[in-house]
Amino acid sequence: MDISTPFEENQDQLSPNRNIAPLTAALDKEKRLVVGGCRLSKLAEDYGTPLYVIDELTVRASCREYRDSLIKYYPGDSLPLYASKANSSLLLSSLVASEGMGIDVVSEGELITALKGGIPNHKIVFHGNNKSKDELLLAYKNDVKIVLDNQFDIDQLKEIVEPDVKKARLILRFTPGIECHTHEYIKTGHIDSKFGFDPDALNDIFIQLKDIEWGELVGLHAHIGSQIFEVEPHRDLAEVMVKALQKGRELGHSLEILNVGGGLGIRYTSSDDPPSIAHWVEVISNAVVEACNKRSLKLPFLMCEPGRSIVGTSGLTLYRIGSRKEIPGLKTYVAIDGGMSDNPRPITYQSSYTAVLVDKPLAKTNEIVTIAGKHCESGDVLLNDFPLPICSSGDVLAVFSTGAYNSSMSSNYNRIPKPAAVIVLEKTSEVIQRRELPEDLLRNDILPDRFMENVR
Ligand code: LLP
């Protein structure tokens, strides 16, 4: 496996989603791995492990590639939104806001993080297939665009909105009926998906939403899935969406916005070969323009919602190696001080990753080991049969491409506290999420009085 390319000197500055390691990954004089100018083994010493590390320049480069490519390839107005489910924090909200991006949120938690992180309200889009009344109210009060996912959303909103004060700004989500090759759990565009209105129901919904007092339908949304390497499904999506846009406009809705969702894949291992951000944007932009021209439609305001390709390869996780178990002729387990609680993707989707020992990233690999987590679950394995140089307890291991869907999907299984996260830039590191303490995990436990006498 070719794992050296990501941090060879003078590496080609590829689209961030096509690199396994962050763009600033480099080697110091002793050939130790450095990211954002910070030596990774020093970060592990200073902040402890497991540690999430985010490279600021890589996040910024991804945001800029989306933004600049939209400007280059799409002749109408446009806005890339960061899908904050990939990794939601005040820091990331603030960072993507400073790059001019909007944000997609799916819960009250993500919404307040975006608002407090400085994303302008009009650049926030609120999703969800079962939004609570409180969530809808918060979104409505804050002038956030609300995605109608189902009839329940419509019925609840009607009760919440005060038409005399202001209307709700609505985007209609539908299932486009497009298949793509990705893990079954992360497909969303197929007809039996739980998200969005059935395409056959669209006409009725357009009619139902005509001339309503409580809201204004301003756009359409669809999302076909995640970690996608082909561009054809998105090209097809543009055609399906523009067709729906035409229908909606014919039925009297202004429908300025077309939001094509996210889904662009990233490189986790050297065999992954996703298209660049620029190419993805180019294909979608051309397809939307073509579909509109064909029908003589005014170009919509184009939105997309990338998550993984904004933050995925900017992140890595540092672990310290602990115990080892050799099963002669079968397997060697090397255990790290984290695992499925900080990265549930391998156990959930059988995802593969790339890892190196941070102080000898280019050393010859001379054993095949299975990197096991520390949780009480046999399936808690981060990398199966992976080549590493001989390693010993105390060595620091970096697992790459963990910026997306790791921290945001982390848990406290086995009452293991969540890792700290730091951001690195130009030789400086700053904590952006403090390490959870074991005591923090008792925060919400309540012991009724009648049990108190048993407590020391
Ligand atoms: N928009 C909507 C409506 C979505 O549901 C998603 C992801 C996105 C945008 C962003 O997609 P992205 O650009 O990140 O592919 N936990 C899974 C991924 C679930 C994706 C859910 N929706 C994983 O770890 O692979």
Question: How do residues 111-154 score in pLDDT, each as one tens digit?
Answer: 999 999 999 999 999 999 999 999 999 999 999 999 999 999 99
- pLDDT range class, residue 5, cuts 50, 70, 90: very low
Q: What is the arithmetic mean of pLDDT over 412-439?
A: 98
User: If you average pLDDT over every residue of the chain, what do you get?
Assistant: 95
The predicted-structure confidence for 170-187, as pLDDT tens digits, reads as follows 999 999 999 776 666 556
Distance 360 CA to ligand 1 centre (A): 34
Q: In this structure, is residue 107 part of a structural domain?
A: yes
Q: Hey, what are 177's tokens?
A: 């009926």
**Do residues 242 and 267 share a domain?**
yes
- Structural domain range at position 329: 16-55+314-437
| Domain final residue, candidates 311, 335, 365 | 311
Q: Does the CB atom of residue 188 touch ligand 1 within 6 A?
A: yes
Q: Assign residue 450 a region (left: φ > 0; alpha: ψ between -120 and 50; beta: otherwise).
A: alpha
**pTM as predicted:** 0.96
Q: Which pLDDT does position 187 carry in this prediction?
A: 64
| Active-site residue, from 63, 180, 376, 391 | 376
The predicted-structure confidence for 373-383, as pLDDT tens digits, reads as follows 999 999 999 99
The values of phi and psi at residue 356, to 5°, are: -145, 160
Q: Which atom of ligand 1 is nearest to the CA of 227?
A: 15
**Do residues 203 and 318 share a domain?**
no
Q: Does the CB atom of residue 402 touch ligand 1 within 6 A?
A: no
**Do residues 301 and 405 share a domain?**
no
Q: In this structure, is residue 224 part of a structural domain?
A: yes
Task: Give yes or no for residue 9 having a pLDDT over 90.
Answer: no
Residue pair 257/169 in contact by the 8 Å Cβ criterion: no
Q: In this structure, is residue 451 part of a structural domain?
A: no
Q: Which atom of ligand 1 is nearest to the CA of 345?
A: 24
- pLDDT range class, residue 24, cuts 50, 70, 90: very high
Q: In this structure, is residue 453 part of a structural domain?
A: no
Distance 226 CA to ligand 1 centre (A): 5
Read off the CATH number of the domain in which 134 is found: 3.20.20.10
Q: Which pLDDT does position 452 carry in this prediction?
A: 87
**Do residues 51 and 81 share a domain?**
no
**Do residues 356 and 391 share a domain?**
yes
Nearest residue CA, atom 24 of ligand 1? 405
Q: Assign residue 213 a region (left: φ > 0; alpha: ψ between -120 and 50; beta: otherwise).
A: alpha
| Domain final residue, candidates 286, 311, 336 | 311
Q: What is the arithmetic mean of pLDDT over 382-391?
A: 97
Q: Hey, what are 454's tokens?
A: 């048993």
Q: In this structure, is residue 72 part of a structural domain?
A: yes
Read off the CATH number of the domain in which 334 is found: 2.40.37.10
**Do residues 96 and 230 share a domain?**
yes
Distance 313 CA to ligand 1 centre (A): 15
Q: Does the CB atom of residue 161 touch ligand 1 within 6 A?
A: no
- pLDDT range class, residue 192, cuts 50, 70, 90: confident
Q: Which pLDDT does position 168 carry in this prediction?
A: 98
The predicted-structure confidence for 343-363, as pLDDT tens digits, reads as follows 999 999 999 999 999 999 999
Q: Which atom of ligand 1 is nearest to the CA of 409?
A: 16
**Do residues 38 and 150 share a domain?**
no
Distance 30 CA to ligand 1 centre (A): 39
Lowest mean pLDDT among 80-84, 169-173, 191-195, 337-341: 191-195
Q: Which pLDDT does position 185 carry in this prediction?
A: 58
**Do residues 307 and 334 share a domain?**
no
**How long is the chain?**
456
Q: Identify whether 376 is a catalytic site residue.
A: yes
Best probe residue, ligand 1, of 85, 352, 406 (max atoms within 8 Å of C-beta): 85
**Do residues 122 and 226 share a domain?**
yes
Q: In this structure, is residue 9 part of a structural domain?
A: no
